[in-house]
Chains A and B, each alone.
Chain A
Amino acid sequence: LAKTTQPISMDSYEGQEVNITCSHNNIATNDYITWYQQFPSQGPRFIIQGYKTKVTNEVASLFIPADRKSSTLSLPRVSLSDTAVYYCLVALSGGYQKVTFGTGTKLQVIP
């Protein structure tokens, strides 16, 4: 399983765009990148997944450079309700039996 590294914490003001970068230097050819969000006292919630280039949904964008050794989750115009822990995961395509959530990035949105 590829190891991921994220910043422990980030602060942002409301209305700003937030970019959280995840490093996964030993990502394998068939690995996909996924991001989850977790609020206090709740289970994680899936945000987005991608393999390469850029993926966008109604919540976030995911940017993956050509070498795939890192990825960046972009949250547009954050609000106080985006305060949460964000986890980056790398998972084997087609399998995904075993995944490990690292310590994640604690995002604090400031009014």
Chain B
Amino acid sequence: NAGVTQTPKFRILKIGQSMTLQCTQDMNHNYMYWYRQDPGMGLKLIYYSVGAGITDKGEVPNGYNVSRSTTEDFPLRLELAAPSQTSVYFCACKVSGSYEQYFGPGTRLTVT
């Protein structure tokens, strides 16, 4: 039981490049989230999903896209990377009705 896994752990992108951050959970939780955390700051919600096929914007969705075709996977897509997207990205999941989110180890992304 791996919980929430994220790949890659680290990535350096050039401005304008695209990439997909992968998130997979084996907990069969219907809610999934993507957050970003800038140095010394709290986490900001990018997108979330309440189940397969259902996604919605969080606080800072601009420059990102998501999809949720299965319960297990919730990839985050960056289309045109910008230096402002340099951050640590965390994926999380939880069951409906619970307040406990389970977080992955994070992906550290640098855009130069």
Contact = CB atoms under 8 A, between A and B. Distances in A.
Given A42-B106, A43-B105, A97 B31 contact: yes
B48 to A, nearest CB: 6
Interface string A73-111: 000000000000001000100101111111110000000
B56 A100 contact: no
Nearest to A36: B101
Interface residues of B, number: 27
A36 B100 CA distance: 9
Nearest to A34: B99
Interface in A35-66: 36, 41-46, 49
Nearest to A42: B105
A83 B39 CA distance: 17
Given A46-B101, A49-B99, A49-B100, A98 B106 contact: no
The SS class assigned to the A binding surface is: loop
Interface residues on A, range: 20 to 34
A46 B106 contact: no
Given A32-B99, A34-B99, A46-B99, A101 B105 contact: no
14 contacts: A43-B4, A43-B106, A44-B103, A49-B99, A96-B31, A96-B94, A96-B99, A97-B48, A99-B101, A100-B43, A100-B45, A101-B43, A101-B44, A103-B41
Interface of A: 32, 34, 36, 41-46, 49, 87, 91, 94, 96-104
Interface of B: 4, 31, 35, 40-45, 48, 50, 56, 58-59, 90, 92, 94, 97-106
